[in-house]
Each structure stands twice: as structure tokens, then as C-alpha cells.
Amino acid sequence: MLSVLRNRTYRHLLTAQVVALAGTGLATVALGLLAYDLAGASAGAVLGTALAIKMAAYVGIAPVVAVLAHRIPRRRLLVAADLARAAVALALPFVTGVWQVYLLIFVLQAASATFTPAFQSVIPEVLPDERDYTRALSLSRLAYDTESLVSPALAAGLLALVGYRWLFWGTVIGFLASAVLVVSVVLPVAAARGAAGGARGSRAPSVAARSLEGLRLFLSVPRLRALLALDLAVAAGGAMVIVNTVVYVRDQLGRPAGDVPIALGAYGGGSMAVALLLPRVLDRVADRSVMVPAAFGIAGLLAALAVLTSTGGGGWRWPALLAVWAGLGAAGSLILTPGGRLLRAAVPAAELPAAFAAQFSLSHGCWLLAYPLAGWLGATAGLPAAVLALAVLALAAAVLAVRAWRPARDSRPDTATGTATGPAPVAAARPGVSAGPARAFRPVHRHRPASGASLPR
């Protein structure tokens, strides 16, 4: 897996991602403490609102940024996003009102919604080989999981020495270091998109219309619609873990507060184990063979959790909870890690930024749906009702993925690599040939020529 680190550009980009994630982890801890200082017992409501603002920014900003990204060199865009995040982190220690927190969180997450899809769209161009790209996806998954485990420990160590507001300075350093690492490499030139009007000579569409084209591009491909359904299954399982771990550990099982990070660590550990093993598995089996069963696995694990919730006392419930949490983390990683491979195989090179931005936005829309189900339904109707609702949601998502992603569609060779990892990109870019605008894209299974075609409206 580590052989991809021989590529200097990718090595610097991965390091930029890691240090930025570490800074984000410190900010998460510090933000919780800041909310408590400002709102006291209402800190949970403040953080819940901040989380909703985060998801709203992700859903609304990413598609628009994907359009603007074609007008701005990607290295400049990534550095600008890092500098904006550093500026917000620099301001957070000095806020005195809750509304200021909300405003700064929106700016911070808008910058993240700019950085992440652009970063994701660069990696397949830096690592064009399918095997290398698969290993890069696993390393990226490991980076996220490691951050969730290491950042709280790092924050705890720093809090023993300094006040929590100093953690924001660690966030600033992380984002600035990320910007420096991005500046230190030369990124591939993005594939040119065709003229917005095409041969018809029509006027170029507005930014809003072009951003919606990115969403239509994503939703027009059956395989990518299946990916969206799988993202919904991941959100159903992950929301239960993120929102209700403390409720299960403290209220349901009556265990001490120190067991909360242990439960969260089980979730991250399951995800990390899969990320380490998955590249070798994907060398031998198709993506569908691991992703679709994982969605059904999430539904089954949530159903098991419902049984665990309604069962009386017993010392076995604590290890059972850890096992369910580890299983949810593993199943989520089985879906999230290969997701970039599907996008890369199904979308022309010129449309990768728009496709990654659409996936980023739509997948976070899934979390925006799952979070209230896990939190509000659990608080009003009880945890068993919330778990069953999320289990049904995950099961429905898995069934939708099966219907959208037929096995026959998993055997078409990727024109870029010659491997049977996904459908051939329509109108794939060739030297000197434009792949055309998003509206010229057609799913392979319709057997229509790409040129002159338009997406259904």
C-alpha cells in the first residue's frame, strides 16, 4: 500500500490532508468547550445547530464551487481554501457570542466544501494507475480514521498544559502547513470542458445552472445513483454511532464516561482494519461484491442493535455494543473506500471535479437526513424506535443500490486502465479532444452517442 508514497506529488498532498485533518480534530474539541463556555447547559443545542450549518454548507456550496473551479487553477483554489480555514480558526478564540460561532462555522465549512472535492478530483490524475489509486483511497480512509482516534488524545494532552482556546492555534498551524504542502507541488492541468453552448452556439449557462448540471451528471449514471444509495446506508449507521454513543454507554449500559471514547474507538478501529485489507481484496473482486453486501450488513447490524437496546441487563451487552460499533465502522469503510473508483471509472476526466462535488454534496445530504432521525427520534420516541427507523432506511438504501447497479454493469472495462472495475467513461478525454460539457454525458447502458446528446430535464 505504501508504494504510492514514492510519488512526490501524492505524498505531499496526503501529508497536507493529514495535517489539515489533525487541525480540524483539535478545532472540534475546542469548539465543544467554547460552546459550553458560551451557552452552558445549552451547549448541545449550539453544537447541534453548528452541525446542521456544516451540513447545509456542504450540500449547498460544493456544486457551485465545482463550476468556479474550472475558472481557477486548482492549486490556487486549494491554497485559498486552506488560508480561509486558517483565518476562521484564528478568529474563533476571540468570539463572544453564539451567533459569531454560527457565522464562522459556516465560513469554515464553506471553505472545506471548496477544498475537499477539488482535492479528491486531483488524486486520480496524480495516480492514473488503478492499483495505485485504490491504495490512495485506502490511505485517505486511514487518514480520516486515524484523525478520529489521534486528535482527541492529542487535544487531551494539550489541555493538560494550556487552555482550550490554544487548540485553535493548532488548527491554524495545520491549515497553514497544508497550504504550504500544496504550494510545494505542481498539479496536473485539469481537462478542459467543452464550450457551454456546444455546436449550437447557445449562450453559456449561469453558474447556478452549471452547478445543477453537475448534480444531473451524477444522478444520470445508474452506478452513481447506487453509490448515493450506499452513502445513505453509511449515514444511517454512522449517525447512530456519532449521535447516540454517549447515550448507549452512559444511560443504556450505565458505564463511566471514560468508556465513551473506547466505543468510538471500536467504530474507528473497524474502519481502519478494512482500509488496510481492502486494496488486496479489490485486486481480486469487483467493487460491487464488497459494497452492496456491506449496505445489507449495516441494516443487519442496526437490527441487532435494536435487539440489544430492548434487552435487559447483562455484562455481555458492553462487548456486544463494541462488536456492533466495530462492524458498522468496517461496513462503512467497505463502501466509502472504493467510492472514488466508481466516480473515476464512470465519468469523463473533464467532469471529475463536478462529479466529486456532486457526490460530496449529495452524500452529506444523506447525513443531514440521518442525523435528525438518530437524535430527535431517539429523544422523543426512544432509542429502539430510532434504531429500527435507521435499520429500515439502510435496508431500503441497499435494495435501491441493488436495483440501480446490476452485476452486468460491473464487468465493462475501464478505458483508462483496461481493468473491469467500472463502466467505460463516455466520451473519455483523448489527447487534443475535449470531453465536452456535462450535458453531453450519457450513461453507457443507453447505447447512444455522446455527441449531441443532452441530459433529460
Classify 75 as helix, strand or coil: helix
- Bridge partners (DSSP) of residue 48 are none
Helix axes 8-39, 167-183, angle to 10 degrees: 160
* Level-2 CATH architecture, domain 1-190: Up-down Bundle (1.20)
Q: What is the CA radius of gyration of the chain?
A: 22
Nearest 10 degrees: CA dihedral of 103, 104, 105, 111? 110
Report whether pLDDT(413) > 70. no
Report whether pLDDT(293) > 70. yes
Residue with the bigger pLDDT between 46 and 11: it is 11
Report whether pLDDT(374) > 50. yes
Mean pLDDT of the region 275-300: 89
Strand segments, DSSP code E, in 107-179 are: none
Please tell me what DSSP assigns to residue 451.
T
**For the residues of 243-299, what is the DSSP string, one character each?**
HHHHIIIIIIS---TTHHHHHHHHHHHHHHHHHHHHHHHHTTS-HHHHHHHHHHHHH
Whether residue 452 contacts residue 226, with contact meaning beta carbons closer than 8 Å, is answered with: no
Report whether pLDDT(439) > 50. no
Residue with the bigger pLDDT between 385 and 4: it is 385
Per-residue pLDDT tens digits for 168-217: 898 899 999 999 999 998 877 655 554 444 444 445 555 556 667 767 87
pTM above 0.85, yes or no: no
* Cβ neighbour number for residue 351 with a 10 Å cutoff: 30
pLDDT-derived band at 263, boundaries 50, 70, 90 = confident
Q: Which three cell numbers stand for residue 318?
A: 458492553
CA dist 408 and 389 (Å) reads 32
Average pLDDT, the chain: 76
Report whether pLDDT(432) > 90. no
CA-nearest of 118, 144, 165 to 22 is: 144
- The percent of the chain in helix, strand and coil, each rounded to the nearest 5, is 80, 0, 20
- Phi/psi for 454 (5° steps) reads -135, 150
Whether residue 128 contacts residue 416, with contact meaning beta carbons closer than 8 Å, is answered with: yes
- Bridge partners (DSSP) of residue 433 are 430
Please tell me what DSSP assigns to residue 430.
B
Sign (positive or negative) of CA dihedral 81, 87, 93, 99: negative
Q: Convert 77-106 to b/e letters by CB count within 10 Å (16 or more is b).
A: bbbebbebbbebbbbbbebeebeebeebbb
Per-residue pLDDT tens digits for 222-255: 888 999 999 999 999 998 888 788 778 877 888 7
- Can you give the residue ranges of every domain in the chain? 1-190, 198-457
Block residue for cell numbers 512526490: 8
Highest mean pLDDT among 78-87, 193-202, 401-410, 443-452: 78-87
What length does the chain have? 457
CA-nearest of 368, 87, 67 to 236 is: 368
Classify 409 as helix, strand or coil: helix
Nearest 10 degrees: CA dihedral of 213, 217, 220, 226? -130
CA dist 35 and 263 (Å) reads 24
CA-nearest of 96, 264, 241, 111 to 179 is: 111
User: 152, exposed or middle or buried, with CB in 10 Å at 0-12, 13-18, 19+?
Assistant: middle
- Domain 198-457 class? mainly alpha
What distances in angstroms separate CA 137 from CA 198, 250, 336, 341, 384, one per listed residue?
34, 35, 9, 8, 35
Whether residue 337 contacts residue 137, with contact meaning beta carbons closer than 8 Å, is answered with: yes
Report whether pLDDT(416) > 90. no
